[in-house]
Structure 1
Amino acid sequence: MSARRSAATLLTLAVAGAALAGCSKKDEASSADAVKVNASDTACEVSRTSFPAGTVELAVENKGSKATEVYVYGPGDKIVTERENIGPGTKATIHAEIKAGEYEIACKPGMTGDGIRQKITVTGGGDSAAKAADPRLAAAVEAYRKYAQEQADATIPVVTQFAEAIKAGDAEKAKSLFAPSRVGWERTEPIAESFGDIDPKTDVREDGLEAGQTWTGWHRLEKSLFADNKIGDEEKKLADQLVTDLKDWQTRVPKAEITPTSMANGAKELLDEVATGKVTGEEDRYSHTDLSDFAGNVEGAEKAYELLKPVVAEKDAALVKTLDTEFAAIKALLAKYKQGEVYTSYDKVTEPERKVFSDAVNSLGEPLSKLAAAVVAK
């Protein structure tokens, strides 16, 4: 799901954000050398605009009236790290590995638009080499890159079948392939989003379009298939374009910047995606295949966690115990709504049942927000 969202969804997002990011202030305690980010509805104040490369801690406080997001952007708006759903009056601590260079920190009040930006300079030095000394973390990064590549590779044949069904005018087959074509993407979405330009072309919803942006991708085709019952020349061209754009994603995975902290932050981002799009039913609003995306996000988050778990277990055994329990609980809940390979259509899920899903996401999201800090703890 694209990080760009419409004003119409902000109330829902603010509620979800407060629940997911509303860890207590003691849980979000920051160290003395953290870079403080004070976000409000009109400002994004950074305590330091220059600091050494390595493991950087951003201590964010949302002093505004709206839920916000904080991003660190590299050149070309390449996402280095992000945290969504920081509710009004709450704090969040973000740990990230940042190399020397020029960047921008962006606060996005209302979780929409390009954000209020501050330029920062990250200088040489830092503790990256020391952090990378643990061979288990290096192995985790390589294993996760392999996993991400496998997911991208597995996506292309399915999305090609989806496109071919559209071009053949076979709407029912195309509908049946819509959700399966998205699974690999949903499992590794933070990597795809990190490139900046791919997600807006493939996964943006209509209300997330920027001014002048042409709507393309999965959700444009979803609307044609499930709401408009229409397959025309435009849809056939869009199907081909989706395949092309996803092949671009596939070839870029080997170049993705992946670190132990980006894996941990990415796991949290996937739970944020569930909270703001899947639980609300906004993501797949025409096909109602939200639970398939939900499961993909959870599976991808768990994969990152499992790869980091051997190191984290030595530093915070209690966190590992909690995460093991919460992942098992949310997977058991999802399993109740799966028949064979197909999940229950989300329009058949009642409001009380959606509340159960929301509570499960919150229960997992809170401890998952501590994973990055555990990874870098000494």
Structure 2
Amino acid sequence: MSRPVPTGALRAAAILALAGLVISGCSSKNKDDAAAASGATKVKIELNDNGCKTTPSSIPAGAATFEVTNTSANKVTEAELQQGGNIVGEKENLTPGLSGTFSLHLDAGSYTVYCPNAKTEKADFTVTGTATKQSVDPAVQTALDQAVTGYKQYVIGEVDKLVPATKTFTDAVRAGNISAAEAAFAPARYYYEEVEPVAESFGDLDPDIDARVDDVEDPSQWTGFHRIEKALWQDKSLAGMSPIADKLDADVAKLKGLVATTNYQPAQLANGATELLNEVASSKITGEEDRYSHTDLSDFQANVLGGQKAFQLLQPALQKIDAQLASTVSQEFTDVLDSLKPFQTSGGGFVDYSTVGDDQRRMLTQKVDALAEPLSQVAAKVTS
């Protein structure tokens, strides 16, 4: 969850730095160059507290790679490319000194570059003309078409599971049953965390469902899973939570309706997988995400499995494009998931994350970092 006030992201970076766990991501020039789509138009976005500088602000239709850099901005840690109020691509969790890329195939039209918390948050971005038809191996194109179709089915399926799982949770909240609500919290969130990048693309829907207290300007307007989490584990009372539970059900139902009509492009699958790894790094490993319940490892696994699913759908095409990269990413996913096994309980859940020491968190960080770098190259490969 990445909106809109960056307090949480900044604190997460501070925690990582204090623990010696800083993740490199895609912060070097070489890595950014490796993540650029072949033949793509390059767009540079410089995060600035006054207003993000986008160069150029108009490009021809076709493949594009956005290089996002934060040299010194403290209030702005992300850039989004939006169209019609929906996010089509983004790079987030960029504290000063970090940079990253995302690649897309863009059709002609009017877009917006949105940098939350900048003095001027939005700037126009234009795509013109018609993309040049590129020669693509028919087998690769077929595999990519199958990937996006398969991902849409996957997202619909996971949200179909999210709806009743959330109702089990909210029914317990409305009944004032603290123990039942606590037991249902992590299982419900699991389905959401698997497909979080899709939910994030729908404007304010993700903050309504998944915002932490740091992410809202007015705490009295705070809603969603984490508002109820605080009531359960910190306040030890569900008084006044029924309206929050009702809204959570309504927001999840809205998500179900939106994903049924949403289509994707291959690069969005890869970008989403990368963002799920960034979610792990920025808020799960730090313990910030589920700070009251300490169920972070459940979210961690869901993020990784959601990213792995997107990658696995792309893997047949990527195998034809860059077999070595496909093999590397596949193995790194396995290594990350294996690293979680020591923390699983006999009941299928995970240990309380507050019991996981710095050395163990450092190990998890290293595994995630080893996956994040090659995974960040996939979007460019399937966009070219």
Q: TM > 0.5 between the two?
A: yes
2:127 aligned to which of 101, 122, 126: 122
Q: Is the 8 A contact 2:51 2:120 kept in 1?
A: no
Equivalent residue letter for 1:261: A
After superposition, what is the alpha-carbon deviation per residue over 1:216-271, rounded to whole angstroms, capped at 9, x for unaligned? 11001000011111022x21221122111101101110222411001100000101
In structure 2, what is the Cα distance between the partners aligned to 1:330 and 1:212?
A: 35
Distance change in 2, residues 1:326/1:370 (3 Å) = same
1:4 aligns with 2:22: no
Structure 1 residues 190 and 239: CA distance shift in structure 2, 3 A: same
Counterpart for residue 103 of structure 2: 95
CA distance in 2, matches of 1:25, 1:299: 29
Secondary structure of the residue that 1:275 maps to in structure 2?
Answer: helix
CA contact (8 A) 2:41 2:59 kept: no
Q: After the TM superposition, which residues 255-274 of structure 1 pair with which residues of structure 2 at under 5 Å, given as runs?
A: 255-274=261-280
Q: What secondary structure does 1:94 align onto?
A: strand
Offset, 1:59:
2.5
CA displacement, residues 334-365 of structure 1 (integer Å, 9 cap, x when unaligned): 12111132111111111111111111111111
Which residue of structure 1 lines up, in the alignment, with residue 336 of structure 2?
A: 330
- Bigger shift: 45-54 or 340-349? 45-54
Q: Give the C-alpha shift of residue 128 in structure 1.
A: 7.4
8 A Cα contact 2:49 2:118, kept in partner: no
Q: Contact 1:18/1:85 (CA < 8 Å) preserved in 2?
A: no
2:188 and 2:181 map into 1 onto residues whose CA distance is 10
Does 210-219 or 339-348 show the bigger shift? 210-219
Write the distance in 2 (CA, Å) between the matches of 1:285 and 1:113: 27
Pairs within 5 Å for 1:188-227: 188-211=195-218, 214-227=221-234
Hey, what's the Cα distance between the residues in 2 that align with 1:374 and 1:255? 26
Q: Is the contact between residue 80 and residue 114 of structure 2 (CA under 8 Å) also seen in structure 1? A: yes
Distance 2:4 2:54 in 1: 23
Aligned position for 1:356: 363
Given residue 103 of structure 1, which amino acid in structure 2 is its aligned partner?
Answer: Y
Please tell me whether the aligned partners of residues 69 and 99 of structure 2 are also in contact (alpha carbons under 8 angstroms): yes
Q: Are residues 1:25 and 2:3 paired?
A: no
Q: Which runs of 5+ in 2 are unaligned?
A: none
Q: Equivalents in 2 of 1:175, 1:105: separation in Å?
A: 39
Q: Distance in 1 between matches of 2:120 and 2:23?
A: 22
Aligned pairs, how many? 372
1:37-87 Cα offsets, whole Å, 9 max, x none, are 2334434222222222332221333332547322101223x1110011335
Gaps of 5+ in 1: none
Pairwise CA distance, 1:211: 4.5
Of stretches 210-219 and 250-259 in structure 1, the one that deviates more from structure 2 is: 210-219
* 1:276-329 alpha-carbon deviations (Å, 9 max, x no partner): 110110100001000000100000000000000111112222211211121111
Letter of the 1:44 partner, please give it: C
Q: What is the 5 A alignment of 1:249-288?
A: 249-288=255-294
Q: How far 1:200 moved relative to its partner?
A: 1.4
Aligned ranges 1:358-373 → 2 under 5 Å: 358-373=365-380
CA distance in 2, matches of 1:245, 1:321: 38
Larger relative CO (CA 8 A, sep 6+): 1 or 2? 2
Contact 1:51–1:121 (CA under 8 A) maintained in structure 2: yes
- Judging changes above 3 Å, is the alpha-carbon distance between structure 1 residues 50 and 174 closer, same or farther for their aligned structure 2 residues? same
Q: Is the 8 A contact 1:80 1:98 kept in 2?
A: no
Taking the aligned partners of 1:175 and 1:190, their CA distance within structure 2 comes to 25
Structure-2-length-normalised TM-score: 0.90
What is the CA–CA distance in structure 2 between the aligned matches of 1:8 and 1:249, rounded to whole Å?
A: 24
2:247 matched residue in structure 1: 241
TM-score (norm 1): 0.91
Distance 1:217 1:138 in 2: 35
Distance 1:23 1:212, change over 3 A: closer
Contact 1:52 1:126 in 2 (8 A): yes
- Selected match of 1:59 from 54, 64, 67: 67
